[in-house]
Structure 1
Amino acid sequence: MASLELKSVSKSYGRKQVLADVSLTFQPGLTLLIGPSGAGKSTLLRLLSTAERPNRGAISWNGNTARGPWRRTLGYAPQAVDLPEDLTAREFALHIAALKGLDLGAADKQFGAITDAIGLHADINNRIASFSGGMRRRLIFAQAMLGAPELLALDEPTAELDGETARKLGALIVERAKSAVVVMTTHLADELAPQAAAVLRVEAGQVRAA
């Protein structure tokens, strides 16, 4: 069974300590992160996605701390990202697929299916420069889902979306969590909590069961 483990992990930015001596184990299923703004939820997701390294402690994927194998099975949707404005959504997705080492034909079909499910398919051949905030959010989510990742880190994937579209994303996330480790923050935490394996509160540098 896939597992992601943190052992005595701490993260600071200058003199500000965001996470302090956090030890956790994530297994397949949906884990929701809640807590006040600025408490460290996004920092924790960046650590889980290898976008940042801890100052102290260790993070391992299936017992391995090497980042290469970890990244090949990872899907990450950050809350904010600079997208390549001159590319179409489809070109961007295929670029991400190539970086992941995915079969491009299969990835293209999967991207089409995901974007169709979340109401973005009609725009995948349009340049990202023309996208609204909600369309960009859906694109970031779709690229994270490519390759059916075993580890999915999602930072507010439903932000800027209308209720119906947010629920469609939620359904895809719950389905992926049946066979993957999914860790996410979302304003839909109350709606998704009944289907989550765990709800963790991040506050004052600590992560505890909510």
Structure 2
Amino acid sequence: MTPISALDVLDWRRRVHALYARVRAESEADPARAHEIWVAGRDELVRSHPASPVPPEARDGYAGLRHAPYDPSLRFVLPVDPDVEPQRLEVPTATDGVVPFELVGRLHLPLGDLDVWWLDSYGGGIFVPIKDASAGRVTYGGGRYLLDTVKGADLGGSVHDGLVIDLNFAYNPSCAYDPAWTCPLAPPGNTLGVEVAAGEYVPPGHPGH
């Protein structure tokens, strides 16, 4: 993996936070328009930013991200059910050492349940990955992310009154673009037995595409 400077990562994080701030500001009145903003912003970052997970040699002429059309029926505002057995998930990575997560709750969607994890290290944050029946065919085999608030991927809402869970915003982790990255992937409690026709598809050029 080509080294990325700390300042490039800082700029990437700032841009992601700003993008999701625009999404939250727009989504209550017009979720589909918020999704258009997110798609365009994600595509620009992945295509051209120095901290993009796409390898530099593959960025010239990169075909861009592929998405399902926006489906308003896949947007939910759900409370986090805290009635879960304590569970700890420790994910070894090549860049950040062992990344620990604690299970803090569960979301009950019409399509199935998703566990809610807390990043139990400096900064902290809510983490909700998802792997559905399309994984390995239409979407990345290791699953995708819905929320990763420490990185800025936050659709809004509150833990007690309801998080905004919009499956149209499911996005690929960095390892979907370059196997040199090591990503926390969806554990069993974040795996759905149904196909979710929403969010980002397998990246162009990926073996599954």
TM-score normalised to structure 2 length: 0.27
TM-score normalised to structure 1 length: 0.27
| Larger proportion of strand | 1
